[in-house]
Copies of this chain bind each other. A is one copy, B any other.
Amino acid sequence: MSHSVLAIGNALVDVIASATPEFLAGRGIPKGSMQLIDAATAEALYGAMGQGREISGGSAANTVAGMAALGAKPAFVGRVAKDQLGDVFAHDIRAAGVDFATPASTGGNPTGRCLILVTDDGDRTMNTYLGACQELSEADLDPQMVADAGILYLEGYLWDPVAPRAAMKKAIAIARAQGRKVAFTLSDVFCVEGHRADFQDLLATHVDIMFANEHEACALYQTASLDAAMAEMAKHAGIAVITRSAAGAVVLANGERIHVPGEPVAKVVDTTGAGDMFAGGFLAGLSEGRGLADCARMGNIAAAEVIGHFGARAEADLKALVKARLG
């Protein structure tokens, strides 16, 4: 079968605990940031943090799980190890309705995890041990599956490790050769800082749909002006979407700027996955053939659901929420 979206990303299990701003400051972890950590740091941080909840995560994985909840038929490519957390990741993404067939690795690093510290304001600070995620390689791609998928979706987080980056480049080449769309999320300011030239090149030459939050967009073009950043983005990607937290989203396409307000949220519990679920809602709308404003509203609806509870996977019936809001 062909998929509406094939996503390549980190296969992570989130370990979510509450923490105080003082805990973060005491360990020198910038609140709201995402950082990569090694196994020893992960062990030390885990030992110090509070009781956790383990909930499957990974940025692109969250996105396709959100799409599947909205009725799309996506696939995911990413690497776990053959261990209990790998079983959890594989179970959850399949249970969400996503095709996932990347074999688990043996003898290498354990399944990756993201230690997420959530403060009372709902802000999340992410500390990612990539583990087996880095062992994804070109050999894990099914070229036919990539060629057949309507949209190839890539996360900027995975641009960092070498082998997965090569796999993503190969996937882009396959998708472009078939005239498929390529979608990309900048993921995080640290990714942009580390790979600015690559990301600018991707945007200019290989990417049709670009997702960024306002900080990432500004970082990409080294400007403090969101307007200036949006003007640059609009020059390239066919569709560029900038998410602005509670202020909603802006879609740039066909020379137009479409502003879509955010959805109301009763209480922000944990912002983990907001951007991922926005992309999931947006791409689900696109694969249904909806207009761009409705796609962005679907993104906002999915994002609003996921920040109302711990974890980056939807708990409520997203289809019903969209139906209630958009018909």
A positions within 8 Å CB-CB of B: 17-18, 46-47, 49-56, 65, 83-85, 88, 91-92, 95-96, 110-111, 311, 313, 315
- Tell me the minimal C-beta distance from A119 to chain B in angstroms: 14
- A315 contacts which chain B residues (CB < 8 A)? 18
Residues of chain B within 8 A of A311, CB atoms compared: 53
Closest to A81 in B: B84
- Measured CA separation A91–B51 after assembly (Å): 7
The answer on a CB contact under 8 Å between A53 and B51 is no
Q: Say what secondary structure dominates the interface of chain A.
A: mixed
Nearest residue in B to A96 (C-beta to C-beta)? B51
- The 10 A-B residue pairs with the shortest CB-CB distance in the complex, in nearest-first order: A54-B54, A84-B84, A51-B92, A51-B95, A50-B95, A53-B55, A84-B85, A51-B96, A53-B53, A51-B313
Contact partner, A53, options B18, B54, B65, B83, Cβ 8 Å: B54
Q: Which residue on B lies nearest to A53, using beta carbons?
A: B55
> In the complex, how many angstroms separate the beta carbon of A259 from the nearest chain B beta carbon?
33
Please give 17 more A-B residue pairs, beta carbons under 8 A apart, in addition to A51-B91, A51-B96, A53-B311.
Answer: A18-B315, A46-B91, A49-B95, A51-B56, A51-B65, A51-B92, A51-B95, A51-B313, A52-B91, A52-B92, A53-B53, A53-B54, A53-B55, A54-B54, A54-B88, A84-B84, A84-B85
- Smallest beta-carbon distance A270→chain B, Å: 11
9 A/B residue pairs, CB under 8 Å, sorted by A: A17-B95, A18-B315, A47-B91, A49-B95, A51-B95, A52-B91, A53-B53, A54-B88, A83-B83
Alpha-carbon distance A65/B51, docked complex (angstroms): 10
Number of copies: 2
A50: which B residues are within 8 A, CB to CB? 95
Docked pose: A281 CA to B190 CA in angstroms: 45
Nearest residue in B to A314 (C-beta to C-beta)? B51
Given the complex of chains A and B, what is the CA–CA distance between A313 and B313 in angstroms? 20
**Hey, which chain B residues are within 8 Å of A111, CB to CB?**
84
CB distance from A114 to the nearest CB of B (A): 14
Task: Please give, as numbers and ranges, the residues of chain B lying within 8 Å of A52 by CB-CB distance.
Answer: 88, 91-92, 95
Q: How far is the CB of A256 from chain B (nearest CB, A)?
A: 37
Contact B56 A55 (CB under 8 A): no
- Chain B residues with Cβ below 8 Å from A18 are 315
CA distance A83 to B29 in the complex (A): 28
Chain B residues with CB below 8 A from A49, complex form: 95
Distance in angstroms between the alpha carbons of A49 and B96 in the assembled complex: 10
CB-defined contacts of A47 to chain B, threshold 8 Å: 91
Q: Which chain B residue shows the least CB distance to A55? A: B53
> Looking at the complex, which one of B55, B65, B110, B313 makes contact with A54 (CB distance below 8 Å)?
B55
- Cα A10 to Cα B110 in complex, Å, equals 26
CA distance A84 to B92 in the complex (A): 17
Q: How far is the CB of A63 from chain B (nearest CB, A)?
A: 15
Instruction: Give the Cβ gap from A277 to chain B, nearest Cβ, in Å.
Output: 14
